[in-house]
Amino acid sequence: MIKLFINLILLTSIFCHFALANDADYRKSLKLFESGSLIVDVRNKSEWQETGVIPGSKLIQMLTPAMTLRNDFINNLISVIGDDKSIKAGIICKSGGRSSATVAMLKEKGYKNIYNMIEGVVGDEKNTGWITRGYPIVECQKDCD
């Protein structure tokens, strides 16, 4: 029983490290943007319209209006990211939840340099967010009509 408990703790700590290894704090998120890395925004259309988007980001809605995963999400995502598993990209949402799930999905597909921009566009009680930090944002034109 003790061995099982120790193995469970060990596996949990490994999983937590693996899950956090691709988190990009606000500094790294800005560096991804400034270096020209691909940025993918997985929020929904109304959020893009409300807050604007990061200049040059690709917009792919993750959830349906009923808040379930869109059937075409992974295929749309991979069509934008491409087949190169070594591509460097940042994934962003409102406050880090959807982007974290997206990074996990892409890791399962073998992508290695995909980063969860953990503060999100808006942030939450723990994180300031892209907009509040004064980082570049533009009105959503494409994909928002």
pLDDT in tens, 74-108: 999 999 999 999 999 999 999 999 999 999 999 99
List the one residue out of 103, 100, 99 whose CA is nearest residue 114. Answer: 103
Give the model's confidence band at 144: pLDDT under 50 very low, under 70 low, under 90 confident, else very high: confident
- The DSSP element (H or E) to which 40 belongs, if any, is strand 38-41
- Cβ-based neighbours of 73, under 8 Å, separated by 6 or more: 60, 61, 62
Is 6 among the domain residues?
no
Is 125 among the domain residues?
yes
- Residue-wise pLDDT for 25-66, tens only, equals 999 999 999 999 999 999 999 999 999 999 999 999 999 999
Is 2 among the domain residues?
no
Is 84 among the domain residues?
yes
Is 1 among the domain residues?
no
CA–CA separation, 123 and 33 (whole Å): 17
List the one residue out of 71, 70, 91, 69 whose CA is nearest residue 80. Answer: 91
The number of distinct structural domains making up the chain is 1
Domain range holding 114? 22-145
Look up the CATH number of the domain holding residue 111.
3.40.250.10
- Cβ-based neighbours of 63, under 8 Å, separated by 6 or more: 44, 69, 70, 98
DSSP 93-127: -SSSHHHHHHHHHHHHTT--EEEEETT-SS--SS-
Is 13 among the domain residues?
no
Is 8 among the domain residues?
no
Is 7 among the domain residues?
no
CB 46 within 8 A of CB 94: no
Give the model's confidence band at 12: pLDDT under 50 very low, under 70 low, under 90 confident, else very high: very low
